[in-house]
């Protein structure tokens, strides 16, 4: 299941709506659940994965997976984005800061019920 918070839709997906859509995110979530995502260690509380998305335009997405197989996107970028997209790793301070900021906002959205769930 893909869990998409309102914050991620507004701040991550909307600026890239010409490049990626809901279908791309669902395909990426399916890849993560199939074991095709690369694990990234940002925080010990959640399992974070990086996965490639998009067919026409290449991009990357960082998600975290909850124990009941729910995939929650945190960061969506084009691969050619020089600041974050080209180096989406735990060693990049810009990525770590953005993931922390987005994680806090996603948790707030989930607590308030501001999210949508999609079957994969």
Each residue's pLDDT tens digit, 38-91: 999 877 778 899 999 988 788 988 898 887 889 999 999 998 888 887 888 888
Residue 7 has pLDDT above 90, yes or no: yes
Q: Which residues contact 1 (CB under 8 A, 6 or more apart)?
A: 69, 70, 71, 117, 118, 119, 120
Retrieve residue 42's tokens.
Answer: 């940002």
Task: Work out the percent of the chain whose per-residue pLDDT is above 90.
Answer: 55
- pLDDT value for 81: 84
- CB of 60 within 8 A of CB of 51? yes
Average pLDDT over residues 14-22: 90
For residue 11, give every residue at least 6 positions away whose Cβ sits within 8 Å of its Cβ, in sequence order, or none: 102, 105
pLDDT at 101: 93
């Amino acid at each position: 299941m893909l869990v998409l918070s309102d914050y991620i839709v507004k701040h991550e997906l909307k600026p890239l709506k010409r490049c990626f859509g809901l279908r791309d995110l669902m395909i990426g979530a399916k890849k993560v659940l199939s074991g095709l995502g690369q694990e990234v260690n940002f925080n010990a509380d959640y399992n974070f994965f990086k996965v490639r998305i998009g067919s026409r335009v290449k991009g990357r997405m960082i998600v975290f997976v909850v124990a009941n197989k729910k995939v929650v996107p945190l960061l969506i970028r084009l691969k050619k984005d020089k600041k974050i997209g080209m180096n989406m790793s735990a060693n990049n301070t810009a990525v770590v800061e953005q993931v922390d900021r987005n994680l806090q906002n996603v948790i707030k959205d989930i607590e308030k019920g501001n999210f949508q769930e999609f079957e994969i």
